[in-house]
Structure 1
Amino acid sequence: MATGRATVTASPLEIRAVKAVRSAAPTTVLALGVFAAVRGLGVLVLALGSLWAGKDPVRVLGSSWDSVWYLGIAANGYGRTQMWPDAATGTGYIQSDYAFFPLFPALMRGVAAVLPGGLVPAGILIAWVSAAVAALGVYRVGERVIGPRAGLLLVGLWAALPHSVVLSLAYTEPLLAALAAWALYALLRGRWTVAAGLAVLAGLTRPTGLAVAAAVCAMALYTILVRRSRAPEVWAAGLLAPAGWAAYVLAVGVRVRDPLGGYFTVQRRWGSRFDFGVGALRSAERVLTGGHVPLATTVTVVLLAAAGLLALLLLLDRTPLPLLAYTAVLLVIAFGGAGFFESKPRFLLPAFPLLLPVAAVMARARPRTAVLVTAGLAGLSYGYGLYLMLVARVPL
């Protein structure tokens, strides 16, 4: 007897897709849980510390340093300029909001228009969601390159970095890390269109978003020249990837009537320029010779030295080309840029591939040892995060 209901039979492709999702779900949830545990406790520590210091935790998370500029752009658009006098030169820095890329404030404005609370909670929400998405991407890259267990440790290490407090702030680093991680994963799987699209968005997020485009272009050149590929999507990805970064740089140049050099003039007026590492070496010299410097300066020197060592290990470990190209550009920008020396570890926060050698070694250790090491690093990160946000008098 007919029942009146049609029988739906899933195709073999659909069945395989469902099985793949089910098999991936436990590790994906675990990776997100590791990140949420490490950073969630970090947010709690920062909130309690802010209350103890008599500060509003929401304002600390959502309107500190660069966040204030993004809030202004989201609320009023571009056009704000301020002058900071420099006693040494008798002139000063002319800081324009054109130095800040547009994607994050545009998202803030969009989220604030839909959800209650205003721009500050919107910025925090975007940062937290982006950080979680980034953690999943970091895990996927780690899983593919060094295995599932090491991938989980990679997520834990990344969440416990000294400057990982930034992943909880209304800053652009969480958004860039999310776009970069998934773009790199797409490249590792040969998904050129996805990688190029994410690179365009990364290029609209912050100046260091250029590193994502560099990864796509490097892999495209390798595929064309070495593998002799003539696939149209490879050529298109290589040409499209830098479009977001280039479009904003050109737009600022047109706005200040210097199409090619206008954006870099804006950056120089902030005190930011490329000096091939001269400024970084001078800061390191002051630390090494016992000069009177803030704790943040000393920690920055140590972290930059560690980043250089990890980069060498990454190169010797035959890391996939996209990860090398992406990390190399971030390192060049961080080491070679002058100005805001103590912010350099923040600029390197999206450079999670640097942690691949450490995660691979920890994966061979006993689970208890790996957990204790990660917990210890997280504890240090919480303390240093409190120092950066509530004590240090240097820009984060």
Structure 2
Amino acid sequence: MTGLGQPPAGLQTVLASGLRNWQLRAARWPWWAQVCGVYALARVFSLLVFLAVARHQGPSPWGPARPGYLDFIGIWDSAWYERIYREGYPAQIPRGADGRALENPWAFYALFPALVRAGNALTGLEWRVLAPLLATAAGFVAVLLVYKLFRQFAGHAPSLWGVVFVSAFPVSPILQVPYAESLNLALLAAGLYLMVRRRYLAALPVVVLMCLSRPVGVPFAAMVGLQLLWRIRRRERDPMPAAEFARLAALALVSCVAALAWPVLAWAATGDLRAYTDTEMAWRGGNLVLFKPWFDMGTRLFGPVGGILAPLVLAAAAALCLVSGPVRRLGPVLRLWCASYGLYLFAFLHPQTSTFRMLLPLFPLALAAALVSRSRAYRVCLLLMFLAGQIVWVTWLWSWAQLPGGGDYPP
């Protein structure tokens, strides 16, 4: 007699055999089909999570209760991108009576809405349909490039598991909504791949586009500069001909210029030197002081003593992660990128619930997670944790539920 709630032994055998046969067939697919299959399954799971949570969504600033899928994913910053798509950017920065900038579209980079506008001209499809399609398609391109990048450091199996972890990461539902994250991930993965392959001139247009999609230009420029210094320091063991030095130096220079492109464009369009920086401060409610927001948030969460120690412990943990064995296997470019981006977040970010989404560019660590152990049980357990995290993230942060003081935590 079988236990309560357990399928008969014969059914278990059939299911196990069917799963093994499916795995064997899938293993014979070309790498790109396996990668796309993994990503498609992850996005279907996220779709089901969105649909389930939308059924419990009450009225929100964007519409009535129980919205459909396309309406539900079109909220939060999606609405800002749609506004840019329809109206463009304001010629002046809106300011309050105290002179402080108000929230406005200049906080959001132009490449994603511009591509949707181009797609509209070609297909006639409107934002509501075209923007999620473009974001999802960019996600497919991103994971293909992520796999190609991971294969520079590991075999097929751990690289594919790295793609699994990127695809199922708790904030990965953002890759199928009208945000610029999937587009930026594709461009970032392409830029890092070209860096690893030392195709520095080919990386130039990719880096420029990346810097017009999301604000990752500063840490990327820092990474390229550090890589240049690293190559100079190791030139006796790893010779760097003059032509290669010139190409890498050119990429470093272009990266620095591109990192400043959006603030300069905002200045040129509005005549306001501080147009972009003041707009960013509108979401903070105060002036930027490097590193201070982390200690302020630490004090708020853990008290005066714990608030000082918590950011330092977090920074120490990040440093230990970067010198760990699995991360060292990623090579200098990816390690320098993770270090540069992590330092950028620590210096400039105002920590809040959106911080989880900001961790997505640290995607190379997904390969390190796959390299921690070859145990299938470990990898499957981590995958299940990520899938459960998606449910938590969508339910807690994407769904709107007004706080007692007004507003809600942003995703």
Q: Same fold (TM over 0.5)?
A: yes
CA distance 1:248–1:91, change in 2 (3 Å): closer
Q: Does 1:73 align with 2:77?
A: no
Match of 1:312 in 2: 320
Shift in Å, 1:154 = 1.1
Deviating 4+ runs (over 4 angstroms): 80-85, 90-93, 304-308
Task: Give percent identity, aligned residues only.
Answer: 26
Structure 1 distance, partners of 2:105, 2:321, is: 38
Q: How many residues align?
A: 355
CA distance 1:278–1:238, change in 2 (3 Å): closer
Selected match of 1:208 from 212, 216, 239: 216
Match of 2:149 in 1: 141
Match of 1:49 in 2: 53
Match of 1:374 in 2: 383
Match of 1:128 in 2: 136
Structure 2 distance, partners of 1:236, 1:56, is: 48
In structure 1, the gaps of 5 or more residues are 1-22, 291-300
Contact 2:370/2:379 (<8 A) preserved: no
Match of 1:341 in 2: 352
Contact 2:200/2:247 (<8 A) preserved: yes
Shift in Å, 1:252 = 1.4
Shift in Å, 1:361 = 1.2
SS of the residue corresponding to residue 46 of structure 2 reads: helix
Shift in Å, 1:360 = 0.5
String of CA shifts for 1:216-266, please: whole Å, max 9, x gaps: 34334444563443114333322223333322221212334344x442233
Instruction: Tell me the TM-score normalized by structure 1.
Output: 0.79
Structure 2 distance, partners of 1:309, 1:236, is: 34
String of CA shifts for 1:50-72, please: whole Å, max 9, x gaps: 134311210221x2211111111
Q: Which moved further from structure 2: 138-147 or 124-133?
A: 138-147
Contact 1:70/1:105 (<8 A) preserved: yes
Shift in Å, 1:79 = 0.5
Matches within 5 A, 1:6-17: none
SS of the residue corresponding to residue 386 of structure 2 reads: helix
String of CA shifts for 1:87-138, please: whole Å, max 9, x gaps: xxx9976112222211111111111222243112222112111111111122
Structure (1 or 2) with the greater strand fraction = 1
String of CA shifts for 1:19-53, please: whole Å, max 9, x gaps: xxxx9972232122222212221112212321343
SS of the residue corresponding to residue 170 of structure 2 reads: coil
Instruction: Tell me the TM-score normalized by structure 2.
Output: 0.76
Match of 1:186 in 2: 194
RMSD value, Cα: 3.1
Q: Does 1:394 align with 2:409?
A: yes
Contact 2:398/2:410 (<8 A) preserved: no
CA distance 1:66–1:308, change in 2 (3 Å): farther
